[in-house]
Amino acid sequence: MNSVPNFDAEDTNIEISGGAPGRALRILELVSAHGRAMTLAEITGTLSLPKGTVHRLCSLLVSMGYLARDVDDRSYAVGKAMRRMALNTLKHRSVQSLRHDILTELVKQVGETCNFNALDGTQVVYLDRVEGQWPLRLIFDVGSRVPLHCTASGKLLLAHMRADESSRILPYLRMDALTPSSITCLMDLERECKDIREKGYSTDREEFIAGMVAVAVPVRDSRGDVAAAVALHAPTARMSLDKAIEMLPYLNKAARDMQGVL
């Protein structure tokens, strides 16, 4: 089903710039921007391309990992290779230094470690991080992955997923009790996500690591969708959760600045 297709004369006559590679890029752009899996008919109709051409191109993109068959096997979603490319783009040095400067300024203002995080499947990946200048601190390297259900960034990103996307992820989400405060019940997690959407920020109440609290706010893309998170975390010996929440104006300012360098 995923064999690499041959492109024939039909493909060369379609008036979309770039030939077959250009049409493949248009498909990737459409599916990634749509926010959910798309059927062959939806892609065909939106791009005004012949069904056979779209089917061949989608099959090629699936074989390369840039698209993936959705659970119903009739729709196409963003594949692992495309997600990896997106994460690598976010980590690209030309914009990474700008994001790092924003985080550095934020750490000066709040006095504690701050992160820039994004979703990667059923985990959160650290794309950038600036440590506070304290002897007592927790070290997570850029590229580290942490759970969704018990971290401020994870719960924030989960809360802002589209309903169809979260319904695909939740059945595969491991909700281990990493501390006595970890949320381990799906119903409790759903209530927490609703509360996060209403408040506009997320917290970690010693749910991931005992003795550590965190606050996270959304970073939105040009369409207004939540694409990443900016988070502050600190040991309770230095900062209470209430004090961390008082830092929200600084976090929200940094998140708005991040939008310009996504």
DSSP 4-15: PPPP-HHHHTS-
Residue pLDDT, tens place only, 42-68: 999 899 888 888 889 988 889 888 888
Confidence of residue 18 (pLDDT cuts 50, 70, 90): low
Q: Which domains does the chain have, with CATH numbers?
A: 9-81 (1.10.10.10), 91-259 (3.30.450.40)
State which amino acid sits at residue 107. Answer: V
Cα(8)–Cα(93) distance, integer angstroms: 40
Give the C-alpha distances (Å, rounded to integers) separating 93 from 40, 99, 141, 204, 260. Answer: 36, 10, 16, 30, 15
CB 112 within 8 A of CB 104: no
Q: Where are the beta strands (DSSP E) in 28-134?
A: 38-39, 67-69, 75-78, 113-120, 123-130
Residue pLDDT, tens place only, 168-194: 778 778 899 999 999 999 999 999 999
Cα(198)–Cα(191) distance, integer angstroms: 11
What is the percent of the chain where pLDDT is above 90? 44
Residue pLDDT, tens place only, 224-254: 889 999 999 999 999 999 999 999 999 999 9
Tell me, what's the pLDDT at 8? 40
Residue pLDDT, tens place only, 90-140: 665 555 788 899 999 999 999 999 999 988 878 898 888 998 876 655 666
What is the percent of the chain where pLDDT is above 70? 85
